[in-house]
A = this chain, B = another copy of it.
Amino acid sequence: MQKSRPTPRTDDRTAQTAGTPPARGRGRPRAFDREAALTQATRLFWTKGYEATSIADLTEAMGIGSPSLYAAFGSKEALYVEALNHYRKSHEGLVWGRFFTADTAREAVMGLLMDSAAALTGCRGDIPRGCMVTLSAVGSEGHAELGEVVRSARASAVDILTERMARAVAEGEIPASVDLHALARFVQTVQAGMSILARDGAERAELEAVAEVAMLGWDARVGGRPAP
């Protein structure tokens, strides 16, 4: 029933999902920078959310016509998924960078919360306030599939935290008696709350002070500061 043509509906040649190299096609070349357009779309979804961002908003910000948008990204939902992935690749490092290079779990969590305080308040370049993943309510807006995407993205945070703490237990930094899941949930809660305060205009110093109090809770739970 399907046409003989392989129906290359949306263009993923430059998308990160394509395994093939740039592969300059045969037809008329694209007149806009796909990456730059995706960056603009990401910023728009980030600040306004999925429902409140219209195709007209997107085409204006991206500087292209709607047919170009649909040819390059497929649909509004597909564009949102790509924008979300683009966000994670280009901005999550600002928050999780020190986490993965720290020598101890305490330094990792401390770095995560401190970098969150800076990045979420827009102190790491000209970026919107708050985390796009944390603040996305697309799941409650009637888009179940998109909601599951962002929900799983949020869930990955607690997994990463738990894994790092489990390693800390194996290395003797954290006693085996500590409830790692509760501790990970605590850190996740503080970081999520930071996004809401940041969007309401909280200062970086305020969130850093919050992070310090949170680390006092960490120390009390883990059982005293690690050896200096």
Contacts and interface: CB of A to CB of B under 8 A. Distances in A.
Contact of A140 (B134, B179, B181, B199): B199
A192 B192 CA distance: 8
Contact of A193 (B181, B191, B213): B191
Contact of A151 (B47, B154, B200): B200
A225 to B, nearest CB: 11
B192 A140 contact: no
Copies of this chain, how many?
Answer: 2
Interface in A197-227: 197, 199-200, 202, 206-207, 209-210, 212-221
B135 A182 contact: no
Given A193-B188, A221-B216, A154 B51 contact: no
A166 interface: no
A167 interface: no
A185 B207 CA distance: 8
Contacts of A220: 213, 216-217, 219-220
A141 B216 CA distance: 36
A contact residues, range: 35 or more
Nearest to A215: B217
Nearest to A52: B141
A155 interface: yes
A192 B197 contact: yes
A202 B184 CA distance: 13
A49 interface: yes
A94 to B, nearest CB: 19
Contacts of A196: 134, 154, 189, 192-193, 195-196
10 contacts: A47-B140, A49-B141, A181-B206, A186-B210, A189-B193, A192-B197, A193-B194, A214-B217, A216-B216, A216-B221
Interface of A: 47-49, 51-52, 134-135, 137, 139-142, 151, 154-155, 179, 181-183, 185-186, 188-197, 199-200, 202, 206-207, 209-210, 212-221
